[in-house]
Amino acid sequence: MRTFLIRRLARFARDESGTSVIEFALFAPILCVTLMGVTDVSMAYARKLAVEQAAFRALERVTVGTVQTNYDYLKTEAAAADGAGGIVEANVTVTPWRECNQVVQATFAGTCPTNELTSKYVRVAISTSYTPMFLEGPMTSVGYVNGVVPIDASAAVRIQ
């Protein structure tokens, strides 16, 4: 009886039919967490690219028009250019500025003294956020407030 039991245990130790299932069971959680992280990072990066594209689209309106004194309409343009609809006009900042000989001036309006290089610029800055798809995934554990990833993008163009 004892030798029968020892032979049976030895045969069981040589059997490899369930090894791959056990290896997969050990590796599956690591694979899932990695997949969740890659998915969230790629979605966040895609969101950042969309926000940057919205800033550039808003500035396209500036390049085809004439120099104005008020560029607040770019807030609406940036919000409308975002296909996902996550940009709110309140989170868009439009900053026009004037430089005389590469020195920033206090006001946008006005002209520079004679023989000084006049440059006028407009910057569109957008602040929004991305909420990860997986609430318990790796991206929520990197220290962002309430699991929300802040996204900031800005673009500027010289208009004169």
- Domain of 122, in residue numbers: 19-158
- Please report whether residue 13 resides in a domain: no
pLDDT at 127: 92
pLDDT at 118: 86
- Please report whether residue 121 resides in a domain: yes
- Please report whether residue 1 resides in a domain: no
- Please report whether residue 7 resides in a domain: no
Of the chain, the end-to-end C-alpha distance in Å amounts to 98
Question: What is the total count of domains within the chain?
Answer: 1
Q: How far apart are CA 29 and CA 141, in angstroms?
A: 17
**pLDDT tens-digit readout, 9-45:** 777 667 677 777 788 889 999 998 888 888 888 988 9
- Please report whether residue 59 resides in a domain: yes
- Please report whether residue 87 resides in a domain: yes
- Please report whether residue 2 resides in a domain: no
Burial of 29 (0-12, 13-18, 19+ CB in 10 A): exposed
For residues 20 and 104, the model is more confident at 104
Q: What is the pTM of this model?
A: 0.75
**pLDDT tens-digit readout, 107-154:** 888 888 888 888 889 999 999 988 888 776 666 666 566 778 888 999
- Which spans in the chain are helix H? 2-14, 19-64, 73-81
Q: Residue range 91-104: average pLDDT?
A: 89
pLDDT confidence of 77, banded at 50, 70, 90? confident
